[in-house]
Amino acid sequence: MRSVLALLQFCTSLPLGRPVEFEYFARRSYLYPIAGYVIGGIAAGIVSCIGSPVVGAAVALAMVLILSGCNHFDGLLDFGDGLMAHGSREKRITAMTDRSTGAGAVAAGIIVTLLAFAALQNTAHLPAAILTAEVSAKVAMSYLTTLGPPFREGIHSYFRGFARPWFLIPATLLALPLFLLPLPRVCIALALAVTAGIAAAMMLLARHLFGGVNGDVVGATNEITRAGVLLLLAIF
């Protein structure tokens, strides 16, 4: 339970009392999907009372950002700056880790948010869709934490130091309850396949651009996976 509490204190802005030792979660980063169930579950419960798909989609996305403290969204913005920077690998890393917000960050935030918003309001079952997307996003974070080589010391390298290849198995198993949701099982299966694909693509892209992965890349993967899964669910 200490590991779960440490996870929720790291991934959410919920008032959960006295801080727990961070290492409890770092040693079990395969628990990431649990945070997806909590964040996505709260958002799903709220939007289930909203009749308008447009308003529901806006509220759902607002809730997942607020409940996560916008930490992963901040990683997306930083990743956008690094992605759009010109020049050497060092210049891209500098752009990504700089505290200022550039045009690349704004573009990344707008594009990913608009895609997620447009997709979510066109899904057949909005509460189930936001829950599926949020859990999938956390599965992708666990995959990247387990497999992504760090390019510098930081929060990701700390997590990576405790991660083991077998972490991929429990992280995936924790997503299986999604098959109980009122969505076609083939859609859930495809969502998990897309999750793995986005995680792999982000890791390869990060290694090419920055020489490895950091916390910003992992956070960006969360946001991009959510949008990608929502697009899939809207299409099918």
Per residue in 152-196, pLDDT (tens digit) is 888 899 999 999 999 999 999 999 999 999 999 999 999 999 999
Q: What pLDDT does 19 receive?
A: 84
- Counting as low any pLDDT under 70, the low residues of the chain are none
Q: Residue 25: which domain range?
A: 2-235
Q: What pLDDT does 86 receive?
A: 85
Q: What pLDDT does 45 receive?
A: 96
Q: What is the pLDDT of residues 188-220, one digit of tens each?
A: 999 999 999 999 999 999 999 999 999 999 999
Q: Which two tokens stand for residue 72?
A: 């992963």
In whole angstroms, how far apart are CA 195 and each of 21, 49, 141?
A: 29, 28, 10
Q: Which two tokens stand for residue 230?
A: 């929502």
Q: What pLDDT does 236 receive?
A: 85
The total domain count for the chain is 1
pTM: 0.94
Q: How high does pLDDT run on average in the chain?
A: 93
Q: What pLDDT does 198 receive?
A: 97
Cα–Cα distance, 62 to 40 (Å, whole number): 11
